[in-house]
Amino acid sequence: MQLQNDLLLRAAKGEKVERTPVWLMRQAGRILPQYRAVRESVSGFIELAQTPELAAEVTIQPVELLGVDAAIIFSDILVIPEAMGLPYEMVEKRGPWFPQTVQSEADLKKLRIADGANDLSYVIKAIEITKKELAGRVPLIGFAGAPWTIFAYMIEGSGSKTFSKARAMLYTQPEFSHRLLQMITNSTINYLKAQIQAGADLVQIFDSWAGILGPKQYQEFSLKYIAQICDAINQVPKTVFAKGAFFAREEMAKLNCETIGLDWNMGIAESRKLIGSTKTLQGNLDPAALYGNPDQVREATQDMMQQFKGTRHIANLGHGVYPDIDPEMVKVFIETVKKY
């Protein structure tokens, strides 16, 4: 089906665009009262993500309510460990929690490489429904967590400020760590291929915990696996967003992907210099800027746009939108980008 608005795909590929495309990480969700209404109709986040019709509904909401240039499938990065045989729970106000973690050979033996299409059929179904209901209005973004970020949760068992257990594993059991990372990588490749098969027009890899590794560890235990994923997927454009990995921007320039996401701590001019002109940059307004009044939001957005001017750019925040931000300010951000 021909896309009516393919700005995102053209911008990712470095083709000519009439204006900069804009979408937001975590746009399908907590800021919208319409999302909260759907969320309250089920037992919680996981049930919502596993009910394809509802996941499709909340995926499409921001397209209709906010006017973004892309939809991103409503799901979670932690569906991969679940599909590999390590289930998780979503604890209200605390985030994800794994009753079991991976610590030993025996734990590793219990895991399998997920095949994507069957093990995660509910996400695939949600993509199919969403594609049909979007009817070509905007592209649909598929996504997965980067292997290191997934590994961090599988070892640690929950979110953490330091992920010291996961980081310790890289030093004390590097060979074991590489085996688990490879299993996650193979599962992720299968999963993203299934998403593309179902209709995803672009895929994004989220390395949420990139910034807690040092440069050497990051190179060996994260970037290497992200590179494998990028090399394995060639049907659609790919975006890599590694939060906090300011030290790896030159290495990221070498990845086989079209777009690099910048967080709000990564200077735009400096990033462009380090990454070069052959990649599109995505980002990178500080989400907290959206707590301002309309004039402040406009000013912050224009300032960002000015710095990206004349280069390959997809407008976004430098991280996911915070749950207590006023949707009206999100609209101001989007409108300002569109008018720029």
Q: Which of 35, 88, 153, 225 is catalytic?
A: 153
Measured CA distances, 247 to 21, 265, 275, 287 (Å): 27, 11, 11, 22
Total length of the chain: 340
Has residue 93 got a pLDDT over 90? no
Has residue 1 got a pLDDT over 90? no
Q: Which of 26, 167, 249, 272 is catalytic?
A: 26
Q: Is 167 a catalytic residue?
A: no
| pLDDT attached to residue 184 | 99
Domain boundaries, the chain: 7-339
- Residue 239 tokens read as 């975006």
Strand partners for 140: 71
| pLDDT attached to residue 92 | 84
HSE (side-chain half, CA atoms, 13 Å) at 303: 12
Q: Which of 6, 10, 35, 39 is catalytic?
A: 39
Q: Is 26 a catalytic residue?
A: yes
Question: pLDDT of 261-310, one tens digit each?
Answer: 999 999 999 999 999 999 999 999 999 999 999 999 999 999 999 999 99
Q: Is 179 a catalytic residue?
A: no
| pLDDT attached to residue 301 | 98
Integer Cα distance of 123 and 147 in angstroms: 19
Question: Looking at domain 7-339, which of 3.40.50.300, 3.20.20.210, 3.90.1150.10, 1.10.110.30 is its CATH number?
Answer: 3.20.20.210
Question: pLDDT of 293-307, one tens digit each?
Answer: 999 999 999 999 999
| pLDDT attached to residue 205 | 99
Per-residue HEC secondary structure of 248-267 comes to HHHHHCCCCCCEEECCCCCC
Quick check: pTM over 0.95? yes
Q: Is 225 a catalytic residue?
A: no
Q: Is 19 a catalytic residue?
A: no
Q: What is the residue-averaged pLDDT of the chain?
A: 98
| pLDDT attached to residue 233 | 98
Question: pLDDT of 144-183, one tens digit each?
Answer: 999 999 999 999 999 999 999 999 999 999 999 999 999 9
